Structure 1
Amino acid sequence: MEYQAKYITDDIKLSCYEDKLFKSEIMFDHHMLIWFLSGETKIVQADATYVFRKGDIFLIPRNQLATIINYPKDGQPHKTVVMHLSTARLRDFYAHLHVKPKAQAVQSIRRFDNHPLLESCLASLVPYFDMKNLPDNIASLKITEAISILRAIDPGIDDVLANFEMPGKIDLVSYMEKNFMFNMPLEKFGYLTGRSITTFKRDFKRAFGTTPQRWLTRKRLELAHYHLAQKQRRPVEVYFETGFENLSHFSYAFKKHFGYPPTALGAAHHKG
């Protein structure tokens, strides 16, 4: 068995990976509150890398690009309780509160490790995963409780949770230079830079003089080359984090671009 997800509701799930490793490129449509039961996760973003383990609690804000690599650890599967804080639910929560969130240029992952209030709230969900039917109002109460706790322990959380704005039109060049390693559909890149897919492609051609796909492949290969040559990492460690789906496609594209396989760089270092 590789992956199991048990849902209490659409917004609350128990996620379990027993395979060696699971990787995904994600842009979350909702904020996600995650509590680690076992295993390990590495989250790679453009400007930071995070590692989370058993007992950790963290919030990933929506519209974040990330490469997420999940591992089993110490003979235990990768197991988490995940709560989605959807825009619809947050709008309801904040409807009667007079909160004016400050606009934030960058919303980063927030850690709440070993916080007793949050931990007890999330731990109380675990028995419900074995029930056939859970009344909707109980799940709703649990999410409201989690939001209330977050507001009590993090003074800046309203700036994240009460911000319902869509991504605005931003500078395409700086955004793409920062986020090219995330293997996202072009539509998602368009959305995150405040453009339709047609406008995105047109603006991209004007800015970079080539198609998004050609440019993205070249940038990812150059980054991979840097990791292999300068950081002396192995191809199997690099292709995930530079936006390639699998090792064979990465090796083929690398050899086509540079004229030698990625393993040649590792071999040169190991000889020396």
Structure 2
Amino acid sequence: MDYVAKYITEDIKLSCYEDKFFRSEITFDQHMLVWFISGETKIVQAEGTYRFQKGDIFLIPRNQLATIINYPKDGLPHKTVVMHLTKGWLQNYYAKLDSKVNPEKIPRIRHYNNHPLLESCMASLIPYFDMQDLPENIANLKITEAVTILRSIDKSIDNMLANFEDPGKIDLAEYMEHNFMFNMPIEKFGYLTGRSLTTFKRDFKKTFNETPQKWLTQKRLELAHYQFVEKKMKPIDVCYEVGFENLSHFSFAFKKHFGYTPTELLGAPHTR
């Protein structure tokens, strides 16, 4: 994979994937403001799937699980400007303001398509990526500009940006039923449900009467079967969307569980 990243600081980067395809499963440790220059991204989250392409600007909330699939498009690479809005920076910013916050239970991706002020702010970063000697404090000024614009065009944005709480202990069964398709380390599932690793494993066994890995694999395979039968999706798409690392491992696990491969299922004259 040919990947190039240029930085103004570690919080502002120009990201470019030249290859045909890139996929990752991550939790965002900080909010991310993204402006698309070219290419396409599919973001799969528990509540739905989002597609973004050239000209789109969107804000991804922190501490949310997602599968990210990046593609080139129209002969151009997947290219974006990404601005990280870190917890520390936002705490300093909001310390000077009197903001009333009503935290969202599940923050969702916010889309600011074709907004001239926000697009101008993000586009103005491009020349700085090739400069050796950057103007002093330019990154802080640009992030301040971006957040100021967000607050002017999205009156509820403080409910996301000014919420600095870490995940609290939440209902384990509900969370896992909504997020099992994300191939995260067990430690990360523990953190996002407000538990230590030991407590997570104990609560998981008590809730599901199974180990996390066995339960996760079965749930992902059952979802894959549904995607094939009901939506007629391709194996390569299903494989990545339900949390498997590669197609060969997915096909092996699918056949071991169901007794037939995804290709055999899709080619069957009648739904099994």
How far is 1:227 from its partner?
0.8
In 1, distance between residues paired with 2:269 and 2:108? 36
After superposition, residues 24-63 of structure 1 pair within 5 angstroms as: 24-63=24-63
After superposition, residues 156-195 of structure 1 pair within 5 angstroms as: 156-195=156-195
- 8 Å CA contact 1:168–1:193 kept in 2: the answer is yes
- Is residue 11 from structure 1 mapped to residue 11 from structure 2 by the alignment? yes
How far is 1:231 from its partner?
1.3
How far is 1:270 from its partner?
9.8
Tell me which amino acid in the other structure corresponds to 1:186. I
In 2, distance between residues paired with 1:132 and 1:269? 63
How far is 1:41 from its partner?
0.5
The percentage of counterpart residues that share the same residue type is 71
The runs of 5 or more residues in structure 1 that have no matched partner are none
Tell me which amino acid in the other structure corresponds to 2:210. T
How far is 1:156 from its partner?
0.2
Between 193-202 and 253-262, the greater mean CA deviation after superposition: 253-262
* 1:80-106 Cα deviation digits (max 9, x unpaired): 000000000000100111112102111
- 8 Å CA contact 1:232–1:269 kept in 2: the answer is no
TM-score (norm 2): 0.97
Query: How many residues get paired?
Result: 271
After superposition, residues 211-230 of structure 1 pair within 5 angstroms as: 211-230=211-230
In 2, distance between residues paired with 1:201 and 1:136? 48
How far is 1:110 from its partner?
0.3
After superposition, residues 1-272 of structure 1 pair within 5 angstroms as: 2-269=2-269
- 8 Å CA contact 1:24–1:68 kept in 2: the answer is yes
How far is 1:131 from its partner?
1.1
How far is 1:136 from its partner?
4.7
In 1, distance between residues paired with 2:88 and 2:30? 10
Query: Hey, which bits of structure 1, 4+ residues long, moved more than 4 A?
Result: none
In 2, distance between residues paired with 1:196 and 1:76? 44
Give the SS at the match of 2:79: strand
In 2, distance between residues paired with 1:244 and 1:135? 44
Tell me which amino acid in the other structure corresponds to 1:192. L
TM-score (norm 1): 0.97
- 8 Å CA contact 1:103–1:159 kept in 2: the answer is yes
Give the SS at the match of 2:16: strand
The runs of 5 or more residues in structure 2 that have no matched partner are none
Q: What's the C-alpha RMSD, in Å, of the aligned pairs? A: 1.3
